[in-house]
Amino acid sequence: MREALVAAAFELFLERGFEQTTIDDIVSLAGVGRRSFFRYFPAKEDVVFPDHERGLAEMTEFLDSGTGEEDPVKHASDAARLVLRMYAEQPSFSVQRYRLTRKVPGLRAYELSVVWRYEHTLAAYLRGRFADRPDGPLRADVIAAAVVAAHNHALRTWLRSGGESDWVAEVDAAMAFVTSTWSDRPTDTTPEGADATDDVVVLVASRRAPLWRMVQGIETAIGDTRRI
């Protein structure tokens, strides 16, 4: 029953567009009554995206489960993984929907609004974690967007493979790019009570550079002539 409704809905969305298809059209093609439709789906968009409310709830629950000691960027990345896992649980449905969404503008618009809600949820968590930083809100917004973009990159790669590629490997690679960019960065490890004179020296050098050159670089950076 559920599958028949989904198949009918997908066929009509592709043929007429999302807005132009009514629930009556769907139940009529599927040969079932309106009440059957509402037994499975609260609204028309839930035929295509039945799991996002659950996905958002799971993400929120996971984010809230943090102790406040965890690395915030890692925690946000792990929250985004839950969404990809949700897609991966139903590979053929996800792939079919992906092809449909690319062809039906109304569905694409709906999907963008869902993505926005995930991003908003991640940003709210990160804002809380970055509350004591002057650039906290900006940092939270940018990192949330980066996590979502990395997630979507992994998801699209997997969907384009027809659900055949290794989604865990895709998401690992994508999230590693984000966490290596922002986790355990110098600015995140400045100890409590550090002041301006306690800032951090970063030396970047080729491994081939002789040690004396590296030391010279440090001396220039710290602006004094301390010697070993």
Return the structure tokens found at 23.
């629930």
Size of the site for a copy of itself (CB under 8 A): 54
Question: Is there binding between residue 92 and a copy of itself (CB under 8 A)?
Answer: no
Question: Is there binding between residue 193 and a copy of itself (CB under 8 A)?
Answer: no
Cα dist from 185 to 10, 95, 131, whole Å? 46, 37, 17
Cα dist from 20 to 50, 111, 144, whole Å? 20, 17, 34
Cα dist from 151 to 73, 87, 181, whole Å? 13, 12, 15
- Of these, 51, 149, 161, 172, which contacts a copy of itself (CB under 8 A)? 149
Distance in Å, CB of 120 to a copy of itself, minimum? 11
DSSP characters over 100-155: HHHH-HHHHHHHHHHHHHHHHHHHHHHHHHTTTSTTHHHHHHHHHHHHHHHHHHHH
Distance in Å, CB of 27 to a copy of itself, minimum? 23
Distance in Å, CB of 137 to a copy of itself, minimum? 7
Question: Is there binding between residue 43 and a copy of itself (CB under 8 A)?
Answer: no
- Of these, 138, 160, 169, 220, which contacts a copy of itself (CB under 8 A)? 138
User: Residues in the site for a copy of itself, rule: CB under 8 A?
Assistant: 108-110, 112-113, 116, 135, 137-139, 141-142, 144-146, 148-150, 152-153, 173-174, 177-178, 181-182, 186, 189, 191, 194, 197-212, 214-215, 218-219, 222, 226-228
